[in-house]
Amino acid sequence: EIIPIFGTDKKMIHSLSQPSLINEKNFILNIKGLKTEKGRILRANKFLRGELEKRAIPILQKYALRIKTKDYQLRIKTMRSLWGSCSPKNVITLNLALIFCPDFVFRYVIIHEMSHTVERNHSNRFWNLLESLDPDYELAEKWIKSNGKKILCYLF
């Protein structure tokens, strides 16, 4: 099976001996000890959640410094329709499906949600802040509108 990971098609390989990893060409999932498809899905989701978190943290830190946001938390979960959210307590939640999106979309969603730590709504001030942080954000929004529904189905 071929799946996109951060915008690059990867061949998914189940392995009994190699550790789970993502390299230039493959997504290798260690399935040792797993007897069911549900177990494989759970292990894949756990591994991908960790990969998404590793990639998200430096981006969050960079933009938190730029907009002077210090107190925030990151959560990653599977969501059926949202790509991300930011709670009133600055809990930024990212959809695990972002792992299947190109980097510019992933970065846009993070910047969008980080911007909500300063501007809580979609006012003109919010969009001005977002544009100052990501001048090409509209490209990511177009990509999401064109491709989002088919990407969300990878997790269900």
State residue 80's pLDDT score. Answer: 86
Q: What is the pTM of this model?
A: 0.92
Task: Quick: pLDDT tens for 11-52.
Answer: 999 999 999 999 999 999 999 999 999 999 999 999 999 999
Q: Is the pLDDT confidence value at 152 over 80? A: no
- Report the pLDDT averaged over residues 50-78: 95
State residue 62's pLDDT score. Answer: 96
> Other C-beta atoms within 10 Å of 41: how many?
14
Q: Which residues of 95-119 are buried (b: 16+ CB within 10 A; e: fewer)?
A: bbbbbbbbeebbbbbbbbbbbbbeb
